Amino acid sequence: MDDTGANANPETGYSPGAARYHDKSRHHHPSSRPTNRRAYGALDLGTNNCRLLVARPSDDGFTVIDAFSRIVRLGEGLSTTGRLSDRAIDRAVDALAICADKLRRRHVSLSRSVATEACRRAANARQFVSRVQRETGIALDIISPQEEARLAVLGCHILLEPGDGPALIFDIGGGSTELVLIEPGMPEPEILSWYSAPWGVVSLAEKEFNDLTSLEDRLDTYARMRKRVADSFADFASTLPTIGYQPRLLGTSGTVTTLASVHLDLPHYDRNKIDGLNLPSVAMREVSQSLSHMSVPERAEIPCIGRERADLVVAGCAILEAILDIWPAERIGIADRGIREGILRSIMAKDSGPS
């Protein structure tokens, strides 16, 4: 999801200095205030997006001073060929070159750059990583699904609504979907179990989607998407606890932020109105069902979807509904934060050393 807010740079989505991330677990004593004001960087290269955050520590978390987000579709065609295409690689390298320039200009002292599902699956991923380092200086770390899930949880778990019992956090990506069952706690929750499904908005759309003019055909396609995802969730779903409490659910992804924006009928994406929002699950299902009825041109006319996401968003809708089928929470928490924020929290904590 491109994080485009009302007063933000349209390419980054952030107004430098305006995006503050608060750590609710930090105890505010004079001796514990961070004296390290160096800049840190976190880069997440996914199957669909390239995203960067640059931030400095603050007394209650960190403050973003620069950011970048661009749809690169690195995984385009991967499900068919098993390789990253030359065009996709060129798009990604162009975006990463911009990120490298921002890291240099902001004098970033410590950063981490990760790549996820597309690079885990591609036969030519190592060659791509070598080209990126040669041409941009960025050293991409291809992380495991488990590490991806951990970073996403670390970046967004503080937005969970208060409550009892385990909670489910999910991240619908371009090439995979991570489901993480946690026992909430500070400063970091305990991960009870997790699962990485091989379906994200790009991989599922390429497998099932075609924009047929018939409404009946579109609904049949949507039903197949939901079944394919449900089948992949089945084993994990069988391990979930019998719910004797109100289940809590938090989503971090372009899918949930986009659907929340559509629900609010925003004229453009506004991160300040989305991050930390809690919406009724039935409202998110209604948006998903509505979008599944539309053609690609019709979805493209919706301001917070646009042409770049019109062909992918319905796959995200199918994944979201499959998640609600196995974890029937009354409300969904919406997080416009995740892996990048998890990286920043992790490297800042390590760099600060023992108290």
Q: Where exactly are the structural domains of the chain?
A: 20-146+340-352, 153-335
What was the pLDDT predicted at 81?
94
Answer whether residue 1 shows pLDDT above 80.
Answer: no
Which pLDDT does position 20 carry in this prediction? 56
Architecture label for domain 153-335: 2-Layer Sandwich (3.30)
pTM recorded for the entire structure: 0.85
Say if residue 352's pLDDT is above 60.
yes
Q: Does residue 354 carry a pLDDT above 50? A: no
Per-residue confidence band for 34, with pLDDT thresholds at 50, 70 and 90: very low
- What pLDDT score was predicted for residue 210? 65
What percentage of residues in the chain have a pLDDT greater than 70? 87
The least confident of 27-41, 147-161, 311-325 is 27-41
> Is pLDDT above 60 for 211?
yes
What is the predicted pLDDT for the residue at 17?
A: 42
pLDDT computed for residue 19 by the predictor: 58
Is the pLDDT at 27 greater than 60, yes or no?
no
Class of domain 20-146+340-352: alpha beta
Tell me what the pLDDT averaged over the chain comes to.
88
pLDDT reported for residue 21: 55
Q: Look at residue 31 in the predicted model and tell me its pLDDT.
A: 38
Q: What is the mean pLDDT of residues 202-222?
A: 85
Asked whether the domain spanning 153-335 has the same topology as the one spanning 20-146+340-352, the reply is yes
- pLDDT tens-digit readout, 62-117: 999 999 999 999 999 998 999 999 999 999 999 999 999 999 999 999 999 999 99
286-306 pLDDT tens trace: 999 999 999 999 999 999 999
Q: Is the pLDDT assigned to residue 196 strictly greater than 90?
A: yes
In three state form, how does the secondary structure of the chain look?
CCCCCCCCCCCCCCCCCCCEEECCCCCCCHHHCCCCCCCEEEEEECCCEEEEEEEEEECCEEEEEEEEEEECCCCCCHHHHCCCCHHHHHHHHHHHHHHHHHHHHCCCCEEEEEECHHHHHCCCHHHHHHHHHHHHCCCEEECCHHHHHHHHHHHHHHHCCCCCCCEEEEEECCCCEEEEEEECCCCCCEEEEEEEECCCHHHHHHHHCCCCCCHHHHHHHHHHHHHHHHHHHHHHHHHCCCCCCCCEEEEECHHHHHHHHHHHCCCCCCHHHHCCCEEEHHHHHHHHHHHHHCCHHHHHCCCCCHHHHCCCHHHHHHHHHHHHHHCCCCEEEEECCCHHHHHHHHHHHHHHCCC
